Amino acid sequence: MEIDLSQFSQVFFEESLEGLESMESELLKLDVNEPEDESINTIFRAAHSIKGGSATFGFSQVANYTHLLETLLDEIRDGRRQMTSEHQDMLLLSVDLLRNMIDALMRKTDFDDPLLSQLEKRFTSELEGAAEDIQDEDATQADAEQAPDEQLWHIDFQAGIDILRCGNDPLLMFTELRQLGELTVKLAEINHPDFGDIDPEACYLSWHLELITDQKIERLKEVFEWVEDECTIHYSSSVIDTGETRELQGTSESPQASPVPESTQASTSTSDSLPAEVVKPKIVSQAKSPEGGSIRVSIEKIDLLINMVGELVITQAMLGQIGQQDEIDEESLLSMKQGLEQLASHTRDLQESVMQIRMLPISFAFNRFPRLVRDIGQQLGKKVDLILNGEDTELDKTVMEKIVDPMVHLVRNSLDHGLETPEIRVSKGKPETGSITLNAFHQGGNIIIEIIDDGAGLDTDRILQKARDKGLVAEDEELSTEAIHQLIFKAGFSTADAVSDLSGRGVGMDVVRRNINELNGTIELKSTQDKGSRFTIRLPLTLAILDGQLVRIGHHTYVVPLVSIHESLQVEPQRINRISENHELVRLRDEYLPVIKVFQEFDHEADAIEIKDGLVMVVDSNNEKVGLLVDELLSQQQVVIKSLEDNYSKVPGVSGATILGDGTVALIIDISGLVSLAGITNTNEHAA
Amino acid sequence: MTELTQQEQANMDDASQQYLTFIMASEEYGVDILSVQEIRGWEATTVIPNSPSHVKGVINLRGTIVPIIDLRQRFGIETLEYGATTVVIVVKVAMSDEHKVIGIVVDAVSDVFSVNDADVRDAPDFGDDTNLSFIKGLTNAADKMVILLDINMLLGSEVLPEASQLSNLINNIDAQQPQAVNA
């Protein structure tokens, strides 16, 4: 029976990407001059398991490449090689490269990047260069146990009689051994019974193996790890002196007996065979998109769910019992009510725990920033400390995926436009090294993400000048500092020529804000000249569920997100002002709010045609208040958000749909979309 | 599985396709049966604001939001009053690399025919601007003319005009913004 390995490869991809992530973060944390053993070990382990996995699945390109990393790391780990910043760079580049390789494997496309051969060469020459160092060091610390040089291992391998029945195959082990060095296999003896008694599924063989390798015994034992209980394995070794080694070089036809040529050889040969291997599984499962993705969930969360479902089953049994009674008396009615209450609370708990499954710590998003900051900082010649706080704060996976890009944009901006070069910083009397802080924390039902820098802050004069040049602000108009800062979120500031001569931010900031608004979030900005800037992103914890207020307009039911509602009120006629045919304002305390007649924008009938006849719901739209005219408030409830775009298209003023208790569909109002639809901007009417 | 008749067997062997046909204004139309997901009765929809009149709204199809299109209105045929016998054919439409599920309202479902590709004639060219690219061709089945529809073209374009309207709208909004600041 052929086992389809492709079903497991997804797990390998995920684990490898995780491994690469931890490798990257450890590398970035690493102090090259005094590398911590634990960090090196972690990096080594990641490389090692990727190598092992990729070899198992036949991704030889990855396996060969990681083998190089592993060799280098192994030497560093054993103290045979000093870690240098060049190593760090090479390893970081390798992380990128491997990510791309795995990405290509997931997409089942060919991987072809000149960087691969470049890096391979760098590693090879690096490892070759060290061969002498190793020997020098060996001479001083000729410790037999640590001996890294090539050794001849004799392995007597007596296979257990049941080895094949357990699904183990000596051939696979020998193949693996062959990858470690020069292997000779001899059949030792066949200990079979009389022909009539032979069990065709049993294994009566044993072998004598000779392996010339630079690997340690642990590595050899690893190969037999699965079978060591049932097989008899005996290891013995003899060190090959230099003369012998040279001879062996001749037989192995490689210029040097170091592991390097072997791997380069292997990689050249595999680069030829790779396309075929990569193309093959295409037929097997084409439909699986790499983004389909899965989530790793902690056992605790699952346990909690199982408990919850257990409770639910008990409640259901209890209710079922009542249902079986022929007559329902007052007592059973009471317990039925109780049961229903329990059911409601369990359902709520269950919903919460299910949502928890989608929650991931924000470190998944934060993790990329050390690298980003390091690379861009180096590129720009700026010294930066990156401070991450609240990495454990949990956030819905979909929100996380969508917030990363805006965050990258903001951090990039902080580095590029915010932080000054060391010289300028010193001249301003600030420490040479700037800092960028990323904070994440929960506040109410929201998550707050802050991006803070101690750079130059926004240059209000230049922004204002730019806005006047672009006609966004009238010449004689005076704006508060805050209002000027808000200008960078305007679309006009994202044009290319604004980038070159504007020292402030504003590159695509409108896009950032739009992306965040699409997540039902908001972004605020505080900036002080020469002190720095602080961007505050406020997001709902999840995109899947929202607390909604159901409203009726005509015979249509709409859902308004509860978070954006301030209040709802009936307005007396004397507080209604009409500006033009279609624009009406209501006076609410000391503010004038524009009122959107939702039925008009949505082009259907309604009971309340005039503001005085209906209810005005005061809602927040991009930190501005507007009123929505509705007929009636219905209940408040949590609604599960469904996409309209899946099968239809985006609808202006509507952010999605949900299914109500009676099975009908209700649309969820997108307030900022509705405001755009109504053509209202009340920037200057804000009289607070 | 029911046994296939010889005729059906023959049809399976060569380049033939099965079509579900339905009736609308006494004409018979056919759609590729493989794109049909299910056939339902009419139920009240939730109206989508500012949508074209032939988009009747959306329904909840076992947790999925599915738009419903009135094909009479889409084709500019006089509308009928919906009733208990009104039929909604739920079809899967391939759009770029994804599928959309859309319901179409028709008068009645008629039959299932196997149609040989060779028996499909091109639709006549009407010579005007009418875009009939969603008509795959004409064929005869049981002595009746059947208009074979390319559901992907028909409903695929359903969303596209919307999208362009949307981008127009967004452009308009963007164009308005600077003035609004000045105001």
- Average pLDDT, stretch A267-292? 37
- Average pLDDT, stretch B157-170? 42
Using CB atoms, pick whichever of A642, A647, A663 lies closest to residue B67: A647
What is the C-alpha separation between A405 and A516, in angstroms, rounded?
10
DSSP letter (8 states) at residue A422: H
- Average pLDDT, stretch A163-190? 80
Residue A264 has a pLDDT of 37
Best mutation target among A647, A660, A667, A682 (most B Cβ atoms within 10 Å) is A647
Q: Contact B65/A647, CB-based, under 8 Å?
A: yes
In whole angstroms, what separates CA A205 from the centre of its chain?
Answer: 49
Is B54 inside a domain boundary?
Answer: yes
Report whether pLDDT(A667) > 90: yes
And the tokens for A296?
A: 């790793």
Report whether pLDDT(A529) > 70: yes
- Its domain, for residue B43, covers 16-182
Residue B6 has a pLDDT of 52
Q: Contact A664/B173, CB-based, under 8 Å?
A: no
How would you classify residue A169: left for phi > 0, otherwise alpha for psi between -120 and 50, otherwise beta? Answer: beta
Using CB atoms, pick whichever of A649, A653, A664 lies closest to residue B60: A664
The one-letter code for the residue type at A226 is W
Greatest C-alpha distance within chain A: 111
Q: Contact A646/B169, CB-based, under 8 Å?
A: no
pLDDT digits over A476-520, tens only? 777 788 888 888 887 666 544 434 333 334 457 777 887 887 777
Q: Contact A684/B183, CB-based, under 8 Å?
A: yes
Across A135-231, the runs of DSSP E, i.e. the strands, are 151-158, 181-190, 205-213
And the tokens for A88?
A: 């760090």
What residues pair up with A437 in beta bridges, in sequence order? A387, A452
And the tokens for B106?
A: 């028709």
Report whether pLDDT(A618) > 90: yes
Which chain A residue has the Cα nearest residue B51? A651
> A664 in contact with B at a CB cutoff of 8 Å?
yes
Q: Which among A110-124, A172-186, A273-287, A385-399 has the top mean pLDDT?
A: A385-399
- Average pLDDT, stretch A166-188? 80
Greatest C-alpha distance within chain B: 77
Least Cα distance to A252 among A206, A207, A214 occurs for A214
Q: Which regions of chain A carry the CATH code 3.30.565.10? A: 299-494+507-542
Q: Domain spanning A5-125: which superfamily? A: HPT domain (1.20.120.160)
Radius of gyration, CA atoms only, chain A: 34
Confidence of residue A332 (pLDDT cuts 50, 70, 90): confident
List the alpha helices (DSSP H) in A428-507. Answer: 460-469, 481-487, 496-501
Chain B nearest CA to A644, separation (Å): 6
pLDDT digits over A107-165, tens only? 877 777 788 888 888 888 877 765 444 444 444 444 444 445 677 788 888 887 777 87
Give A191 or A75, the one with higher predicted confidence. A75
Is the CATH code 3.10.20 the one for domain A151-239?
A: no
- Using CB atoms within 10 Å of the CB of residue A517, give its burial: 0 to 12 exposed, 13 to 18 middle, 19+ buried: middle
pLDDT digits over A410-467, tens only? 888 888 888 888 888 888 888 888 899 999 988 766 788 999 988 888 888 888 887 8
Report whether pLDDT(A557) > 90: yes
Q: Is B90 helix (H, G, I), strand (E, B) or coil?
A: strand
As a whole number of Å, the end-to-end CA separation of chain B is 72
Q: Contact B46/A666, CB-based, under 8 Å?
A: yes
CATH of A545-678, one of 2.60.40.10, 2.130.10.10, 3.40.50.1010, 2.40.50.180: 2.40.50.180
pLDDT digits over A625-640, tens only? 899 999 999 999 888 8
As a whole number of Å, the end-to-end CA separation of chain A is 75
Confidence of residue A172 (pLDDT cuts 50, 70, 90): confident
What is the C-alpha separation between A220 and A215, in angstroms, rounded?
7
pTM of the model: 0.53
Neighbours of A546 (CB within 10 A): 24
Q: Contact A664/B46, CB-based, under 8 Å?
A: yes
Least Cα distance to A492 among A472, A518, A521 occurs for A472
Is B9 inside a domain boundary?
Answer: no
What is the C-alpha separation between B143 and A465, in angstroms, rounded?
77
DSSP letter (8 states) at residue A420: P
Residue A651 has a pLDDT of 86
What is the C-alpha separation between A65 and A51, in angstroms, rounded?
8
CATH number where B26 lies: 2.40.50.180
Domain count, chain B: 1
The one-letter code for the residue type at A602 is F
CATH number of this structure's domain A299-494+507-542:
3.30.565.10
A257-261, A345-349, B145-149, range with the lowest pLDDT: A257-261
pLDDT digits over A231-277, tens only? 778 777 776 544 443 333 333 333 333 343 333 333 333 333 333 33
Place of tokens 């965050």: A407
Which chain B residue has the Cα nearest residue A467? B178
In whole angstroms, what separates CA A335 from the centre of its chain?
Answer: 47
Give the CA angle between residues A258, A261, A265 to the nearest 5°.
Answer: 150
What is the C-alpha separation between A478 and A267, in angstroms, rounded?
67
pLDDT digits over B66-78, tens only? 999 998 888 888 8
Residues of chain A in contact with residue B163, where contact means CB-CB under 8 angstroms, are 649-650
Beta strands at A565-569 and A665-669: parallel, antiparallel or unpaired: unpaired
What values do phi and psi take at A380, rounded to 5? Answer: -90, -5
Check: CB of residue B159 under 8 Å from CB of residue B41: no
Mean pLDDT of chain A: 77
The one-letter code for the residue type at A80 is R
Beta strands at B16-24 and A522-528: parallel, antiparallel or unpaired: unpaired
What is the C-alpha separation between A431 and B183, in angstroms, rounded?
44
Chain B nearest CA to A588, separation (Å): 22
Which chain A residue has the Cα nearest residue B93? A647
| Positive/negative CA dihedral, B121, B125, B126, B129 | positive
Q: Is A293 helix (H, G, I), strand (E, B) or coil?
A: coil
And the tokens for A301?
A: 């969360």
Is B142 inside a domain boundary?
Answer: yes
Place of tokens 């091109």: B122
pLDDT above 70 coverage of chain A, percent: 83
Place of tokens 């230049």: A462
Check: CB of residue A281 under 8 Å from CB of residue A312: no
Q: Contact B65/A657, CB-based, under 8 Å?
A: yes
Mean pLDDT of chain B: 76
> A667 in contact with B at a CB cutoff of 8 Å?
yes
Give A404 or A295, the one with higher predicted confidence. A404
| Positive/negative CA dihedral, A481, A486, A490, A494 | positive
Q: Contact A646/B64, CB-based, under 8 Å?
A: yes
Q: Which regions of chain A carry the CATH code 3.30.70? A: 151-239
What is the C-alpha separation between A644 and B58, in angstroms, rounded?
9
Using CB atoms, pick whichever of B47, B55, B100 lies closest to residue A556: B47
What is the C-alpha separation between A374 and A411, in angstroms, rounded?
12
Report whether pLDDT(A21) > 70: yes
